[in-house]
Amino acid sequence: MKTVLSGMRATSRLHLGNYFGAAANWLRMQEEYNCYFFVADLHALTTDHDPSALNHHAKTIFAHYLGLGLNPEKCTLYIQSDVPEIAELYLVLNMFANKGELEKTASFKEKARKKGQSLNAGLLTYPVLMAADILIHRADFVPVGKDQEQHLEMTRTFGNRFNHVYKTDLFPEPQAFAYSESLVKIFALDGSGQKMSKSDHNTNNTIFLTDSDDEIRKKLKKAKTDKGPQEKNSPFTQEIKGLFELMTGVSSPETLQAFMADYANCAIRYGDFKAQLATDVIDFIAPKREEILSWQSDEVRMKRIAQLGADKARESARKTLNAMRDVMGMHYFKD
């Protein structure tokens, strides 16, 4: 059975974009693959050093995983720092990463443009830690977005360099998991065309999976629209495209088609459109919110699942490290 690995940073809460862009696909993957899904708390340290925030966010994301339906009997769920073998592999892989190529990654260049010399080394070597996450389980597939494809290519590069130096085939070449073309993309509610984000400072742009009904209604009421179509069969503006994309994910096909027809005929009333969208989002989120909050209130049960997941992940990780040490000549004074 092929192995799949993916994770989300331990920041904030999950939102509709996270659900449609990742979690919904994970639910299908756990039925078909050997899956490892983790909470990336070490990655979160690149931007947040608040211990209480890290603790809260890691447990919150873990509760979201369980509340959305990831089943510890079908996949391995763990928190990144509970598998210390990842850090050892991260250290070794740094010996196969070049400073110049790390500085050229799109994500690092963007952060360097904003922060200059105040960047920490963890941001520079972020792709190396990501490679360690993947290669520790010798994953075959990694579901990544466009913004992470460069990092996945670097994972293959680091693994291949190791294999070449030590004349081994220890590390496979992980491939991006190919999602169907029907993948729903969820945009921020400000009409900017940017993806919905956990880190958006304006929380009105994001619909979180634990938002209350009133919060959802208020956010969608404030969502940016245009002046309305001026000619029949006009293409969607960016603002309206984002809202219709959201409706594609949460509403019935009949509802979607009715409002699309209204838009095409210049008959759409945005107040009615937003009200219907809010109702459908609430109906979609409500059962998920209930499950997530239920898990958040049961830390004893979450702790047990996290410990079992870490044990299982460490068993896989130790096999990789033992094989790595063998080819590197690091098993000293052993029979």
Q: Could you list the mean pLDDT of each consecutive 10-residue stretch along the chain, which spans 335 residues?
A: 97 96 95 98 93 98 99 99 99 97 85 74 94 99 85 97 98 87 82 91 96 98 94 93 96 98 96 98 99 98 99 99 97 80
pLDDT at 108: 83
Residues 52, 73, single domain; the answer is yes
Three-state DSSP at 176 gives: strand
Is 195 one of the annotated active-site residues of the chain?
Answer: yes
How far is residue 122 from each of residues 46, 109, 205, measured CA to CA in Å?
Answer: 6, 14, 28
> Could you list the residue range(s) of the whole structural domain that residue 282 is in?
203-293
Residues 93, 163, single domain; the answer is yes
Residues 15, 115, single domain; the answer is yes
pLDDT at 180: 59
Q: Which of 111, 219, 274, 288 is catalytic?
A: 111
Q: What is the pTM of this model?
A: 0.94
Q: How many domains does the chain have?
A: 2
Is 198 one of the annotated active-site residues of the chain?
Answer: yes
Residues 138, 40, single domain; the answer is yes
Residues 58, 158, single domain; the answer is yes
pLDDT at 113: 74
- Domain membership of residue 317 (yes or no) is yes
> Could you give the CA distance from residue 25 to residue 143 in angstroms, rounded to a whole number?
9
> Could you give the CA distance from residue 323 to residue 162 in angstroms, rounded to a whole number?
12
Q: Which of 59, 198, 274, 288 is catalytic?
A: 198
Is 224 one of the annotated active-site residues of the chain?
Answer: no
Residues 304, 273, single domain; the answer is no
Q: Which of 99, 109, 115, 195 is catalytic?
A: 195
Residue 140, CB-side half-sphere exposure with 13 Å CA sphere: 8
Residues 173, 235, single domain; the answer is no
